[in-house]
Amino acid sequence: MKTINRLEEISDGKLYDIDDIVKADTYGCNGCSDCCSDVGELVVLTPFDVYEMVSYLGVDFDELLGDKIVLRPNNKILLPHLKMQDNNKKCSFLNKEGRCIIHSKRPNICRLFPLGRVYKDDDFKYFLQVGNCPKEDLKDVKVKNWVGIENYEENRKFILEWYKFIKALTFRLKFVRDEKEVEAINQILLDSCYRIKIKEEDNFYFVFLKYLPEIKNRLGII
């Protein structure tokens, strides 16, 4: 999650809405997988990202933990991140041919690149990262088509709720000094948000947002 101040240094200086046109189209990437290396600290997974992965691969969260996903602390909150391979720092979801094995269900952050999101005033916009993708002459594309997220409005609502939720939890944990309490809070977070069971016929966003007030209550946040 970038802040506005740093944006000028890493972007083309513009902010984009979902229906805007941006020079982000890498026209297929042609075998490149540069943005799938050494991004372990950058790709924080939301419960939706994990839900998509586990449903697609037919596994559960704990089967991915350690092998494909690692927990990293950030402001005392333990959140799942993509795991990079020990020997070459490439993402664990990248196969020998340099292809993402969960391409159609890859995390939202992976989908956006070379776009990123910036949050402001209870909303977010997109920005174009410059200097990170080696492909030259990126082509014009509508942001909506580039990110290719299904049920975009539901996803957007979820992303904003999740962002607010993490902010509130960060604030809550700021005042918790007891390590055991921090551990207990993180356990509730992982169990209720990442190990959440959703029936095949149910809609992730609907179920998650329905339980969110109860989860907040258990975590002691508003």
Binding positions for ligand SF4, rule: CB under 6 A: 26, 29, 32-36, 39, 82, 91, 93-94, 100, 102, 106-107, 110, 113-114, 133-135
**Helical residues (DSSP H) of the chain, grouped into ranges:** 4-10, 47-57, 61-64, 108-112, 143-147, 152-174, 179-189, 204-219
Q: How far is the CB of 185 from ligand SF4 (least distance, A)?
A: 27
Q: How far is the CB of 101 from ligand SF4 (least distance, A)?
A: 7
Amino acid making up residue 118 = V
Q: Which residue, 93 or 165, has its beta carbon nearer to ligand SF4?
A: 93
Q: Which residue, 113 or 204, has its beta carbon nearer to ligand SF4?
A: 113
Amino acid making up residue 186 = N
SS3 state of residue 104? helix
Q: Closest by alpha carbon to 93, among 56, 128, 134?
A: 56
CB atoms within 10 A of CB 192: 18
Alpha-carbon Rg for the chain, nearest whole angstrom, is 18
Q: Which residue, 147 or 219, has its beta carbon nearer to ligand SF4?
A: 147
Q: How far is the CB of 107 from ligand SF4 (least distance, A)?
A: 6
Q: Which residue, 133 or 182, has its beta carbon nearer to ligand SF4?
A: 133
Q: How far is the CB of 112 from ligand SF4 (least distance, A)?
A: 10
Q: How far is the CB of 71 from ligand SF4 (least distance, A)?
A: 17
Q: Which residue, 35 or 185, has its beta carbon nearer to ligand SF4?
A: 35
Amino acid making up residue 215 = I
Cα(215)–Cα(120) distance, integer angstroms: 25
Contacts of 208 (CB under 8 A, 6+ apart): 47, 48, 158, 193, 196, 198
Q: Which residue, 45 or 185, has its beta carbon nearer to ligand SF4?
A: 45
Q: Closest by alpha carbon to 212, among 182, 188, 187, 180?
A: 188
Q: How far is the CB of 106 from ligand SF4 (least distance, A)?
A: 4
